Amino acid sequence: MGIGCQEAIIELQALMDPVEEPLNRTLQNVHQGFRPETLARFLKAREWNVAKAHKMLVECLHWRVQNNIDEILAKPIVPTELYRAVRDSQLIGMSGYSRDGLPVFAIGVGLSTLDKASVHYYVQSHIQINEYRDRIILPSASKKHGRPITTCIKVLDMTGLKLSALSQIKLMTIISTIDDLNYPEKTNTYYVVNVPYVFSACWKVVKPLLQERTRKKIQVLPGCGRDELLKIMDLESLPHFCRKEGSGSSRHSENENCYSLDHPFHQQLYNYIKQQSLLTEPSRPIKQGSFHVDLPEPAAEGTEIAKTLESELQKIDKGNELSKSVSGIKIDDD
């Protein structure tokens, strides 16, 4: 980190020092003792412009207070059958750690249907995983390795990606916007694997719209990505869909499938949330109902990407329909 970057961090720190309660309390939950690294993340997200980074961080703190984000890890999704339905349709899990100690999160982009619960349950679940990562997983990894570990690796599985993904773009944009505004620069690298044609076509038009900082983080790997990923993590940390060619996101045993509620990561997460609920409200039964969070308006960049994706998917759909109609025409010999 250069001298200019250190000066920017010091300047932003000076701007944040006067922050009072309740913003200061939620700021502590954000930085978890790694204040310079946290300030650096917000500065990176605003191209090291101190004024813009300060505005972004203060708005993030207000969002957290207004939506009670500090309490979200004490709000379990119940009953368990509903949470299982969320897990089966919003495919995400933690498969292990890289050799550098970074948590490895697997996301089944292609096979996530996001159709078993309301938008608010999916948003709640996503934020809970973010908060558990930032408050429990990353501090624990930092302690183990004796240095700040504040980012993770994400492996995106495109197996099963179809044109029907068009219906999920709105929810995915909402979740992406929440991450961009409130959890910036938490992902070190995105590895994209098991890529079908529909992704390749969309990637060509979306890639130019991404900021250079984001583009540099994304690596599209051949096949299931096994060989490349084994350079940075051991086999036991490899997501189940990367274990062998053609494996995809197909259901493995529940202990291997990190998407499953029965996987150790999700068991630990869900049990932690239920325990926190009992600690905060021991005399009350756990209430059913989603934890509502104000849904943000997508930024201009996110809106443009969403519109471009919709347009490209519609083009592919029309091309497929034309191909089917042509192949269905019977040509008679004279």
CATH code, domain with 42: 1.10.8
pLDDT in tens, 202-241: 888 888 888 899 999 999 999 999 999 999 999 999 999 9
Confidence of residue 32 (pLDDT cuts 50, 70, 90): very high
The boundaries of the domain holding residue 43 are: 3-67
pLDDT in tens, 160-209: 887 766 678 888 889 999 999 999 999 999 999 999 888 888 888 888 88
Q: Which of 20, 42, 67 is the last residue of a domain?
A: 67
Q: What CATH number has the domain bearing residue 172? A: 3.40.525.10
What pLDDT does 330 receive?
43
In a shared domain, residues 270 and 142 = yes
Number of domains in the chain: 2
What pLDDT does 259 receive?
96
C-alpha closest to that of 307 among 230, 206, 162 = 206
What pLDDT does 251 receive?
46
In a shared domain, residues 33 and 10 = yes
The residue-averaged pLDDT of 1-30 equals 92
> Are the C-beta atoms of 238 and 229 separated by less than 8 Å?
yes
Structure-token pair, residue 261:
């509620």
pLDDT in tens, 310-330: 787 778 767 665 555 444 444
Confidence of residue 300 (pLDDT cuts 50, 70, 90): low
Secondary structure of residue 15 in the 3-state scheme = helix
pLDDT in tens, 67-98: 999 999 999 999 999 999 999 999 999 999 99
In a shared domain, residues 227 and 96 = yes
In a shared domain, residues 173 and 29 = no
Burial class (CB in 10 A: 0-12, 13-18, 19+), 19: middle
Confidence of residue 255 (pLDDT cuts 50, 70, 90): low
In a shared domain, residues 20 and 94 = no
In a shared domain, residues 121 and 33 = no
Q: Answer yes or no: pTM beyond 0.85.
A: yes
Neighbours of 216 (CB within 10 A): 10
What is the H or E stretch that residue 265 is in?
Answer: helix 264-280
Per the model's pLDDT, the better-predicted residue between 295 and 333 turns out to be 295
In a shared domain, residues 9 and 147 = no
In a shared domain, residues 129 and 24 = no
Tell me how many degrees the CA angle 238-243-247 measures, rounded to the nearest 5: 130
The residue-averaged pLDDT of 300-304 equals 70
What pLDDT does 164 receive?
67
In a shared domain, residues 58 and 127 = no
* Residue 321 falls inside a structural domain: no
Q: Which of 67, 94, 112 is the last residue of a domain?
A: 67
* Residue 318 falls inside a structural domain: no
* Residue 179 falls inside a structural domain: yes
In a shared domain, residues 61 and 83 = no
Tell me what the pLDDT averaged over the chain comes to: 88
* Residue 327 falls inside a structural domain: no
In a shared domain, residues 102 and 16 = no
